[in-house]
């Protein structure tokens, strides 16, 4: 999960970050949720109420980028149910009647009162981060693409043993037999 997948929200001045996992599940930053619900000891509340799998994703904090714990909707419900504060009811309404349905419908959430200019500025930042990540990925894949093009356009054949040696020189840990086996399996 990349930082551009993180969607920041705010509930009564408290940040509440979400990410959408590859399977489409919306996950919530556990510490943010516990803080917004008014828990004084967020770590204890998370340990006591959250029963699901804890997923860690990088999140920009005041102390820099940190691996934060993200929890499922079920664990958010458990945190809400465990809170005795009235803010928990308000938070539940905001989260499950506004935020989650809009994320599912549109892939994002636009806070009430946000101007079109603010929405556009946020969209531009997300687009820039996405483009930068794609450029990095292309730069990382460039040597592999050049190698694949050279092999594909070669006018002469090459022995599998020689190809395995070339691959090994380029960082692929394989030998002749293993390469033969992989080629047979992959078709």
pLDDT band at 34 (very low <50, low <70, confident <90, very high): very high
Backbone angles phi, psi at 56, to 5 degrees: -110, 135
pTM over 0.75: no
pLDDT band at 109 (very low <50, low <70, confident <90, very high): low
pLDDT score for 71:
92
Calculate the CA 174 to chain-centre distance. 32
Backbone angles phi, psi at 5, to 5 degrees: -80, -15
pLDDT score for 70:
92
Backbone angles phi, psi at 155, to 5 degrees: -85, -10
């Amino acid at each position: 999960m990349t930082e551009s997948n993180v969607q920041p929200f705010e509930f009564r001045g408290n940040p509440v970050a979400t990410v959408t996992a590859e399977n489409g599940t919306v996950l919530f930053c556990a510490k943010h949720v516990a803080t917004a619900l008014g828990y004084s000891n967020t770590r204890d509340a998370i340990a006591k109420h959250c029963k699901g799998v804890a997923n860690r994703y990088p999140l920009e904090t005041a102390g820099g980028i940190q691996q934060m714990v993200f929890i499922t909707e079920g664990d958010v419900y458990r945190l809400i149910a465990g809170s005795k504060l009235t803010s928990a009811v308000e938070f539940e309404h905001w989260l499950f009647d506004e935020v989650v349905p809009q994320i599912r419908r549109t892939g994002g959430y636009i806070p009430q009162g946000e101007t079109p200019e603010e929405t556009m500025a946020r969209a531009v930042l997300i687009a820039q981060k996405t483009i930068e990540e794609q450029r990095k990925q292309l730069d990382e894949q460039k040597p592999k693409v050049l190698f694949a093009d050279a092999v594909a356009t070669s006018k002469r054949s090459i022995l599998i043993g020689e190809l395995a040696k070339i691959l090994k020189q380029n960082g692929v840990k394989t030998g002749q037999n293993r390469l033969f086996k992989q080629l047979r399996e992959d078709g």
